[in-house]
Amino acid sequence: MQTKFNLYILEYAMDSMLRNRFKNISIVVIFTSLVFLISSILFISNSIKYELDNTVDNLPEITIQKIKAGRIEQVDISMVDKISQIRGVEDVIPRVWGYYYFKSAGVNFTIMGLDGFATQYTKSLEEVSQKFDINSLDNAMIIGKGVENILKTNYYSEYFNFITSKGELKKINIAGVFKSQIQLESNDMIILSQDNAREIFDIRDNKASDIVVKVANPKEIGTIVSKIRTLYPDSRIITKEDLKVSYQNIFNYKRGFFLAIFIISLFTFFMIIYDKISGVSSFETQEIGILKAIGWRVDDILKEKFYEAFIISSLSFIIGVSISLWFVYTLQAPLLKEIFIGYSDLRPTFNLPFIIDYSSLALVFLLSIPIYISASIIPSWRVATSDSDDIMR
């Protein structure tokens, strides 16, 4: 009997919502928009943070650069022998790499020269080295997915003409496309043999762009850095922790824009809640008085208001989160993503990885549904507990 009576209350709540459909539709539209905006901000933030964390974790423990007159210079490969003799050093790898500006598309590509016989310093480069025989590639290259899209847009589907530092054209065929779980690392990357990379950047055989050091025990990084600095005081030594702090600072700075949008959204939502909790309309007051007059109890009235608020807030939450997921991970969050990563097209764009942080969803849920339900029930409770005559008057 109690279940049947509750169903009647639910049916009345549905009828009441239909009678005030224009008002409720406007509430759902505003509520959905706020849930969508807040959810999108959190989804974008979580995806970019995930990508940055994975990128930093995949970087070498120590990177050594040569500084001359405040500018980065090429390092001598002879440094490798002395550094490898330091106790605790697992491997020392000279890198030949650099940025190549593709003027037609207005983007920078990262060119990495690999030696197929040497140990690679990241897992993704090791996979590429095993899949493709880099040393046997005669004037050929392996490109990331983002590079492939840009080259095809500019009518380079089989090869690409590099302009070397001497102003000469060098034709390199496209031998394959590689993908990595870390898009920030591989999306803009072009992998060549070291000989081709040296020719493009004019790097002599006894030189390298920088040197990376793999350390067996991360606790010894500080000691090894001190020893390297003693051997080569003119070098700039960058640790993985330094890069992590730098990336985090950039992330926190960009997240400030999102925080401002987030606060504005919450402020708007709580203004709506404040307006709703400050009192009920004269029509709703008269309706509650009539319900009490025909025998409805206070808890019946509160149940009916709960059903209304729950349906409206839950529907808005589900629609808002669903649109947000589609907007962020299908459309790749146009405009909003650009606010976070910047409008510069100097790097090929990357897709936001699909990351669902359930704590973020719980935060959006707690900031929306329970608060809206409370804001609907409290003023109705104040009216319902008053005398019926006073309510009707």
Give residue-wise pLDDT tens across range 133-147: 776 667 889 998 889
How many domains does the chain fold into?
2
* Low-confidence winner among 71-85, 90-104, 105-119, 154-168 (lowest mean pLDDT): 105-119
- Of 155-164, 317-326, 346-355, 371-380, least confident by mean pLDDT is 346-355
Q: Please tell me what DSSP assigns to residue 61.
A: S
Q: Domain for residue 227, yes or no?
A: no
- Residue 225: the pLDDT is 94
Q: Could you give the angle at the alpha carbon of 311 between the alpha carbons of 297 and 380, nearest 5°? A: 35
Confidence band for 373, pLDDT divided at 50, 70 and 90? confident
In this prediction, what percent of the chain has a pLDDT beyond 90? 29
| Residue-wise pLDDT tens digits, 212-223 | 999 988 899 999
* 229 found inside a domain: no
70-79, 276-285, 342-351: range with highest mean pLDDT: 70-79
pLDDT tens digits along 203-254: 999 999 999 999 988 899 999 999 999 999 889 999 988 887 777 666 665 5
78 exposed, middle or buried (CB, 10 Å; 0-12, 13-18, 19+)?
exposed
Q: What's the pLDDT score for residue 98?
A: 92
Confidence (pTM): 0.74
| Residues 366 and 257 both lie in one domain | yes
In this structure, is residue 231 part of a structural domain?
Answer: no
Does 49 share its domain with 85? no
Query: Same domain for 301 and 380?
Result: yes
Q: Are residues 45 and 83 in the same domain?
A: no
Query: Are 163 and 282 contained in the same domain?
Result: no
In-domain check, residue 232: no
pLDDT higher than threshold 70 for residue 390: no
Whether residue 170 sits in one domain with residue 296: no
pLDDT at 124 over 70: yes
Task: Specify whether 202 is located in the same domain as 255.
Answer: no
Whether 303 and 198 map to the same domain: the answer is no
Residues sharing a CB contact under 8 Å with residue 347, sequence separation 6 or more, in sequence order: 107, 108, 187, 188
- Tell me how far apart the alpha carbons of residues 370 and 358 are, in angstroms, rounded to a whole number: 17
Question: Can you tell me whether residue 277 is helix, strand or coil?
Answer: helix
Residues 150 and 17 in one domain: no
What single DSSP character describes residue 135?
G
Q: State the residue range of the domain holding 118.
A: 75-208
Q: Are 52 and 251 in contact (CB under 8 A)?
A: yes
Q: Is residue 213 one of the residues assigned to a domain?
A: no
Please indicate, yes or no, if residue 92 is contained in any of the structural domains. yes
Q: Which of 208, 239, 257 is the last residue of a domain?
A: 208
Average pLDDT over the chain reads: 82
| HSE, side-chain direction, 13 A CA sphere, residue 301 | 27
Same domain, 135 and 46: no
Of 208, 236, 267, the last residue of a domain is 208
279 and 178 share a domain?
no
Q: Do the domain assignments include residue 367?
A: yes
- Residue 353 three-state SS: coil
* DSSP secondary structure of 152-207: HHTT-SSEEEEE-TTS-EEEEEEEEEE--S-HHHHTTEEEEEHHHHHHHHT--TTE
The pairing of beta strand 207-208 with beta strand 140-144: unpaired
Say yes or no to pLDDT of 47 above 90.
no
Given a cut of 60, whether residue 28 has pLDDT beyond it is yes
What pLDDT score was predicted for residue 197?
A: 92
What is the rounded distance in angstroms from the CA atom of residue 127 to the CA atom of residue 205? 25
Q: Which carries the bigger pLDDT value, residue 65 or residue 347? A: 65
- Answer yes or no: is 234 within a domain: no
